[in-house]
A = this chain, B = another copy of it.
Amino acid sequence: MADVGGIAGAQLRSYIERVERLEEEKAALAADIREVFAEAKATGFEPKVMRQIIKLRKLEQADRQEQEALLELYLAAIGMGPEPEGIEPPVA
């Protein structure tokens, strides 16, 4: 960072502003989510229950992904793993 105030500074500022912009968008989404819960609540759905359902669905999805990862590991362990990306398997 010898170039204080020069190119390096401009570049750093650019990175920081990019992050800040993304964080703003993230905060906006968080606000949107809160709004959906509020709307649902106004319609008579308990946010607490909704959150529980969402959590459960996420867990189930994670389950599925773990199952697949495990399967792949097993396949790899017995020498049936996937070919390295971008390399065609030899056509015997």
A residues in contact (CB < 8 Å) with B: 1, 8, 11-12, 15-16, 18-20, 22-23, 25-26, 29-30, 32-33, 36-37, 39-40, 43-46, 48-50, 52-57, 59-60, 62-63, 66-67, 69-70, 73-74, 77-78
**Complex contacts, A18 vs chain B, CB 8 Å:** 36
Query: In the complex, A37 Cα to B67 Cα: how many Å?
Result: 21
- Copies of this protein chain in the complex: 4
Q: Which secondary structure dominates chain A's binding surface?
A: helix
Contact partner, A11, options B32, B43, B49, B70, Cβ 8 Å: B43
New contact pairs (14) apart from A12-B45, A23-B54, A25-B29, CB-CB < 8 Å: A1-B74, A11-B45, A12-B50, A15-B36, A19-B33, A23-B33, A26-B26, A26-B29, A49-B70, A49-B73, A52-B69, A53-B70, A56-B66, A63-B63
